């Protein structure tokens, strides 16, 4: 392909992370987005109303042809993809497994925008797992798509530091923009023939499993640094939660926003015990020191300050009020 010829692209993606890449493609004069694939509209929220994906909304704003197959088992759907005549497929958080027939639908194959420095964190939740594991650095990988999950040869990578108080939601937004920029750079170099794929070392691969609500259950038996990493990693979803057991009173399920690492425990305390109020923050005992929570939300209530929660929920407790983390529904 001549370097001056725009790449004809079919884009495949669904959430906000993918929409950032599509925005960068639409702003680049080196390509022509001829079609967009995204997951079908699904019910969401308390009202369970069907809502279009972020990618669909952006695509429709730009008058693009949007397709939403449930899967690609029907040969007619695969043929419809071929009929776009794309040079290359661009995939970003699409959410569907792509069969070989789809990967072969464009002469230049398919490239994927992945939110980690592969081969670390292959899988569905690379951003959240990096934060939960306390990593200091993550990044974006643009890779060729193969049948094996996130195992294709790498085209470009770019690292990004993780702030010590950064949540997965904040990191997600940074990586989404970085991914869009790196995608355009990758495609420009592919178009010019100046990029060489690098195979992944499978021996170094790790897997980032999809998050569930259970991942939000705070484990106070960890160190305060580890608790802080967990809370940041599950913010905004599924959110960090636990059940506070108050002696002689009704248990209360709460969620918390990321707090700060407090001082060492002055004396041994059962992990999860509330050991005091420090500068308006509730101090929870961890394995080594305290974790200070300034924003807490009781079930079916609005978020409140730690001091307000202390006055409203703990002032009637005699002595120290233990807060034990228990599984949801226990």
Residues of the binding site for (6S)-5,6,7,8-tetrahydrofolate = 116-119
Question: Does residue 220 sit in helix, strand or coil?
Answer: coil
Rounded to whole angstroms, the Cα distance separating 220 from 243 reads: 12
Beta carbons of 9 and 21 less than 8 angstroms apart: no
236: preceding bond cis by omega (within 30 degrees): yes
DSSP 120-176: TTEES-HHHHHHHTT-SEEEEEEEE--SSTT-SPEEEEEEEE--TT--HHHHHHHHH
Beta carbons of 7 and 188 less than 8 angstroms apart: no
Q: Which residues are annotated as a binding site?
A: 116-119
Question: Tokens representing 88?
Answer: 């290359």
């Amino acid at each position: 392909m001549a370097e001056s010829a725009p790449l004809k692209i079919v884009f495949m993606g669904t959430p906000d992370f993918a929409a950032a890449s599509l925005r960068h493609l639409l702003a680049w004069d080196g390509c022509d987005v001829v079609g967009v694939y995204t997951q079908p509209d699904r019910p969401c929220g308390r009202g369970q109303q069907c809502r279009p994906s972020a990618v669909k909304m952006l695509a429709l704003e730009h008058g693009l042809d949007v397709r939403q197959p449930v899967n690609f088992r029907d040969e007619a759907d695969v043929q419809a993809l071929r009929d776009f005549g794309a040079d290359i497929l661009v995939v970003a958080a699409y959410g569907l497994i792509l069969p070989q027939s789809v990967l072969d639908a464009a002469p230049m194959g398919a490239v994927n925008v992945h939110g980690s420095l592969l081969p670390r964190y292959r899988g569905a939740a690379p951003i959240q797992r990096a934060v939960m594991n306390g990593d200091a650095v993550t990044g974006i990988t643009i890779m060729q798509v193969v049948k094996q999950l996130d195992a294709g040869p790498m085209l470009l990578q770019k690292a990004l530091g993780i702030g010590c108080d950064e949540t997965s939601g904040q990191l997600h937004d940074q990586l989404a923009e970085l991914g869009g920029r790196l995608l355009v750079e990758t495609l420009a170099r592919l178009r010019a023939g100046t990029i060489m794929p690098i195979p992944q070392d499978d021996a170094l691969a790790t897997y980032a499993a999809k998050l569930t609500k259970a991942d939000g259950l705070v484990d106070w038996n960890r160190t305060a640094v580890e608790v802080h990493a967990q809370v940041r990693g599950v913010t905004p979803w599924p959110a960090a939660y636990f059940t506070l057991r108050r002696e002689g009173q009704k248990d209360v399920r709460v969620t918390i926003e990321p707090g700060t690492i407090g001082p060492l425990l002055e004396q041994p305390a059962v992990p999860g015990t509330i050991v005091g109020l420090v500068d308006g923050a509730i101090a929870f005992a961890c394995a080594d020191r305290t974790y200070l929570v300034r924003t807490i939300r009781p079930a079916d209530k609005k978020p409140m300050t730690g001091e307000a929660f202390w006055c409203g929920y703990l002032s009637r407790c005699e002595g120290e009020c233990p807060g034990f983390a228990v599984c949801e529904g226990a």
